[in-house]
Structure 1
Amino acid sequence: MIGIGTIANVAAIIAGSALGVFARNGLSERFKNTVMQAISLSVVMIGISGTLEGIFYVAENGGIKSRYIMVMILSLVAGGLTGEALSIEQKLDKLGEWFQRKVAGSGGSFAQGFVTATLVYCVGAMAIVGSLEDGLMGDAGTLFAKSILDGVTAIIFTTTMGIGVAFSALPVLIYQGSITLLAGIIKPWLTEAVITQMSIVGSVLIMGIGINMLDIKKIKVGNLLPSIFMPLVYYVVCTLLSSI
């Protein structure tokens, strides 16, 4: 059944958040801060490793070479301008605040948990590739694996940022579900290179999320979300121009 991977992912986030609520009450503020720093560093390293894995490869002569750097830069710039024009980050914040007003006693960290978890769950390579595999081949294996990871992460996130993490399941449903449903339409344009480039940009954004979580610098990762799809746009435009 196409879409079952996203449904499982949403269920795992909600279940993990529910468990995290109980664990949250058993941790003091001091332990929560330490756990949050550990998670933040892990997110940064996941972003770095994913970016380097996509950019660098071993050439036939055994040397290390790089690729797709210019596409990555152009995608981040074009996507950032698009996201800034659409005010995606601001809309995510407002959505989180709206949920917070509806959930009594949620605490001031509700919006932070909602936005942070939404971005972490949506921008990674597994979200993109898994949704495409589910939509194109009916293979939800990657999303099932992501569900386990997200469920565990939801437990940890909820212990430090609160129940807002559970509500990130809604954007995940919309985001991954849309990619799954549209996969068949955009299939002709989804070359291996395009998917790799999209994954690279997603990994860069994950690194940005980790930097935000460490309070090093505020990066508007939400406004950079369109960057993930810019390699696809770039490929489509180049293909159309070459055919003229």
Structure 2
Amino acid sequence: MPIGVITNTLSIILGGFVGAIAGNKFSSDFKEKLNMVFGCCAMGMGISSIVLMKNMPAVIFSLIVGTAIGICVHLGENINKGAHGMQKCIAKIIKMDSVADENYISTLVTCIVLFCASGTGIYGSIVSGMTGDHSILIAKSILDFFTALIFACILGYVVCTVAVPQFAIFMCLFVLAGIIYPMTNGIMIADFKACGGFLLLATGFRMIKLKLFPFPVADMIPAMILVMPISAIWANYILPFVS
């Protein structure tokens, strides 16, 4: 049962409605400071996952190679292009007076990327499907409720529609993870969680808008695919040799 995925989707819908209704009652200072707390929470979740790491060389190698692949194939740029396409589809469904406003479109694209292609969501959906542990997605749901609320203060009810593609993406990951799980073991899963923890940490830095550390979170996503096979190769072949 995809409890985490459903909870996360409902949190965005509910947060979008609340933000659209009561958005004008929140000051810009309140929204900015709350977003800083979201970033801090994401980093805390990342650190709690990183400490589970079993094979540090395998995880670090996966992160470096995976990010390099993401950058080479322009994954981050392609995700942004996909978000722009989704924005156009949403504009056809919901009449928006601010569609011509470049700042409005930029904010909507940021919202789509954050909810549909975040490292936390991808990582949480896969862990939920593999192990039945929904805690990451449920914790993300708490953050997403308030994040959706803040976005809806600017964008209105359109934020609620972002939950539809987000649910579709996370459900696909949930189902695929259940198929992959029988081929894994405890060490591979621990290293997978640690790799996801690094993405959460990078996401936290992005959320607090720390310009000195503009981590390419979207480009880091391929590391999540590489880490388990690399962890298995390291544990079964390389580690016995070097030991």
CA distance in 2, matches of 1:159, 1:7: 18
- Structure 2's unaligned 5+ residue stretches are 239-243
220-229 or 19-28, larger mean C-alpha shift: 19-28
1:60-104 CA distances to partner (integer Å, 9 max, x unpaired)?
xxxxxxx42101111101211222233221122122223334432
- Do structure 1's residue 153 and structure 2's residue 143 form an aligned pair? yes
1:2-28 CA distances to partner (integer Å, 9 max, x unpaired)?
556534442333233322333432111
CA distance in 2, matches of 1:93, 1:161: 17
- Do structure 1's residue 192 and structure 2's residue 186 form an aligned pair? yes
Matches within 5 A, 1:143-222: 143=134, 145=135, 148-162=138-152, 163=155, 166=160, 168-170=162-164, 172-216=166-210, 217-222=213-218
CA distance in 2, matches of 1:47, 1:184: 23
Q: Alpha carbons of 1:210 and 1:175: their partners in 2 closer, same or farther (altered >3 Å)?
A: same
- Do structure 1's residue 229 and structure 2's residue 225 form an aligned pair? yes
Aligned residue-pair number: 220
- Do structure 1's residue 18 and structure 2's residue 14 form an aligned pair? no
Structure 1 residue 206: deviation in Å? 0.8
Q: Is the 8 A contact 1:35 1:160 kept in 2?
A: no
**For residue 64 of structure 1, what is the aligned residue in structure 2?**
none
The percentage of aligned residue pairs carrying the same residue is 20
- 1:155 maps to amino acid: F
- Structure 1's unaligned 5+ residue stretches are 56-66, 135-141
Partner of residue 99 from structure 1, selected from 79, 86, 107: 86
Structure 1 residue 192: deviation in Å? 0.9
CA distance in 1, matches of 2:38, 2:235: 41
- 2:187 maps to amino acid: A
- 1:213 maps to amino acid: M
**For residue 132 of structure 1, what is the aligned residue in structure 2?**
130
Root-mean-square deviation (CA, aligned residues, Å) is 3.0
CA distance in 1, matches of 2:110, 2:33: 17
CA distance in 1, matches of 2:137, 2:69: 30
CA distance in 2, matches of 1:206, 1:225: 11
CA distance in 2, matches of 1:171, 1:200: 27
Structure 1 residue 228: deviation in Å? 1.2
**Partner-residue secondary structure (3-state), 2:143:** helix
Structure 1 residue 122: deviation in Å? 1.6
**Partner-residue secondary structure (3-state), 2:221:** helix
1:156-207 CA distances to partner (integer Å, 9 max, x unpaired)?
1123334575455345434432333334542342111111111101110111
- Do structure 1's residue 77 and structure 2's residue 73 form an aligned pair? no
231-240 or 201-210, larger mean C-alpha shift: 231-240
CA distance in 1, matches of 2:46, 2:162: 20
CA distance in 2, matches of 1:120, 1:25: 30
**For residue 39 of structure 1, what is the aligned residue in structure 2?**
38
Q: Alpha carbons of 1:4 and 1:158: their partners in 2 closer, same or farther (altered >3 Å)?
A: closer
TM-score (norm 1): 0.75
1:135-173 CA distances to partner (integer Å, 9 max, x unpaired)?
xxxxxxx33x55643443223112333457545534543
Q: Alpha carbons of 1:92 and 1:185: their partners in 2 closer, same or farther (altered >3 Å)?
A: same
Q: Alpha carbons of 1:116 and 1:133: their partners in 2 closer, same or farther (altered >3 Å)?
A: same
Q: Is the 8 A contact 1:19 1:155 kept in 2?
A: no
Q: Alpha carbons of 1:127 and 1:36: their partners in 2 closer, same or farther (altered >3 Å)?
A: same
Q: Is the 8 A contact 1:83 1:225 kept in 2?
A: yes
- 2:108 maps to amino acid: F
